[in-house]
Amino acid sequence: MESILHQINSPDDIKKLTTSQLEQLASEIREFLIDKVSKTGGHLASNLGIVELTLAIHKVFNLPEDKIIWDVGHQSYVHKILTGRKECFDTLRKINGLAGFPKVSESVYDCFNTGHSSTSISAAIGFARARDLRNENFSVVAVIGDGALTGGMAFEALNDAGRSPNNLIVVLNDNEMSIAENVGGLSRYLSKIRTDPFYSKAKEDINSLLAKLPLMGKSMAKAIERAKGTIKYIVMHEIIFEELGFKYLGPIDGHNVEEMIKVFSRAKLMKGPIFVHICTQKGKGYSFAEDRPEKFHGVPPFEIETGEIASEQGTTFSSIFGKEMVNIAKRDSSVVAISAAMVQGTGLEGFASEFPDRFYDVGIAEQHSVTMAAGMARTGLKPVVALYSSFLQRSYDQILHDVALQNLHVVFAIDRAGVVGEDGETHQGLYDLSFLRHIPNIAIAAPCDYNEFAMMLEYAIMVHKGPIALRYPKGVWKEKLFESKQLDFGKGVKIREGKDVTIAAIGSMVETALKVAELLESVGI
């Protein structure tokens, strides 16, 4: 069978394909993704799940005139393949290569940079209102996952957009996952819609029946419209998105290209805010990713045939953190741990298993996690909030206002601090030192090795009073850089003597400073 993928160089090429050709193309794209990501690493499971959805969007909408905003953006690989960038995939997430997220400077088909979740609906309503102010005519589509929909900003945007007359389409890519399994009431609610056919069937039947009611004059028409709303409310379950002001379409099979093309074509012609609920399978088409979607969310290079991941050999700060948290919590029942949808990434699986009643995964809701911790600390608990540095930025106001100004004992375990690498500027942990240092009452510690980290964590939880942040880098590190029996908080440690040059370093830069000292010594300094 002749390959279709090599013929695709722009979205215009998608519009020429039949449904059967689109289905073949979907299969070829999955093979392409598995092959490329197995070599470069990247976000695999989410992209495998969104193939048909992306094809349907490009079939119906006219890019770059129409605007597609991908929430988080790590699921935009298929979009990049279809917009003339498939030849660049060998450079994915490498310096001067193809970005792992949408990037305006990379392509005219990327209209908005995204790297953090829950932002797409806000950006989309901004695009829609700007369009209408200028009397322009194009569609605006926000594609958001059910994990990202747990973020508070998404609900702020839904609340605003739902009362707006502006034409806007929100596409929910519902795969029942964020990075880990979704949690919370919204997840249960979406599951109910997915599994109960009464929702969509009843809505279609009632709309069909009510459409046949006769209209006799304006007053009668208004009365019947009110009656329709009342009957629908009584007979069928209310859909939260309709209550917010959206016209709801779904749930729809996210791997049925033909059905999605029909729904998107219909949504494109409708007025006001539209909510399209698409159900997909994360990792679809690759059995290892289907079985372990959280493992293949953001994945290093791996063996295609076995699914074996070529991970770094050795211990990481994240694993030390998880182990020490369990040890400390065994001794003190007031210690609790909080994660924002990053249980595995922050090393807290063991804690969650050992102390399920003292572990809280709040979903993608960093702001909520910090203020919740403040409430816990106010009652005498010892909360430890584990976040990546990049995502800690999202809770700046809560750290300042709810924790620091009250001088509450909350421990911030800041993973992936410093240069992270492949995920680009939106994920670098470069800013936490700067934006934490000027906050009152907060202490900051940065370990140079695992031995010092264990002592710092013990001190932060069991001794320190008030807010304290521990920042530590990604990857395999040193067990012990120098001999240290105890931690003297607030004082530096002299590691080696000298008379010509003084070198001061903190955290991960201590190892670099020692290497610099050796180089200087080799030339007599």
Kindly report the backbone phi and psi dihedral angles of residue 517, in degrees, each rounded to the nearest multiple of 5, phi listed first: -60, -40
Choose among 173, 146, 474: nearest CA to 341. 146
Choose among 249, 226, 110: nearest CA to 170. 249
* Both tokens assigned to 223: 């009365």
For residue 260, the tally of other CB atoms under 10 A from its CB is: 23
Please answer whether residues 328 and 335 qualify as being in contact, where contact means their C-beta atoms are separated by less than 8 angstroms: yes
**Spatial separation of the C-alpha atoms in residues 203 and 232, rounded to whole Å:** 8
Residues paired with residue 316 on neighbouring β-strands, in sequence order: 476
**Spatial separation of the C-alpha atoms in residues 525 and 519, rounded to whole Å:** 9
How many helices (H) and strands (E) would you count in the chain? 21, 11
Q: Which of 30, 93, 282, 416 is catalytic?
A: 282
**273: cis peptide before it, omega within 30°?**
no
* Both tokens assigned to 377: 């600390």
Q: Which of 366, 382, 416, 471 is catalytic?
A: 366
Choose among 504, 506, 324, 486: nearest CA to 417. 506
The torsion defined by the Cα of 127, 72, 386 and 94, in degrees rounded to 10, comes to -130
Please answer whether residues 92 and 43 qualify as being in contact, where contact means their C-beta atoms are separated by less than 8 angstroms: no
Strand order in the sheet with 67-70: 67-70, 140-145, 168-174, 273-279, 247-253
The residue type found at 77 is: Y
Helix or strand (DSSP H, E) at 47? helix 45-49
**Spatial separation of the C-alpha atoms in residues 199 and 238, rounded to whole Å:** 9
Active site includes 394?
Answer: yes
For residue 459, the tally of other CB atoms under 10 A from its CB is: 19
Q: Which of 67, 93, 103, 394 is catalytic?
A: 394
Please answer whether residues 198 and 236 qualify as being in contact, where contact means their C-beta atoms are separated by less than 8 angstroms: yes
The CA radius of gyration of the chain, in Å to the nearest whole number, is 26
Catalytic residue numbers, as ranges:
282, 366, 394
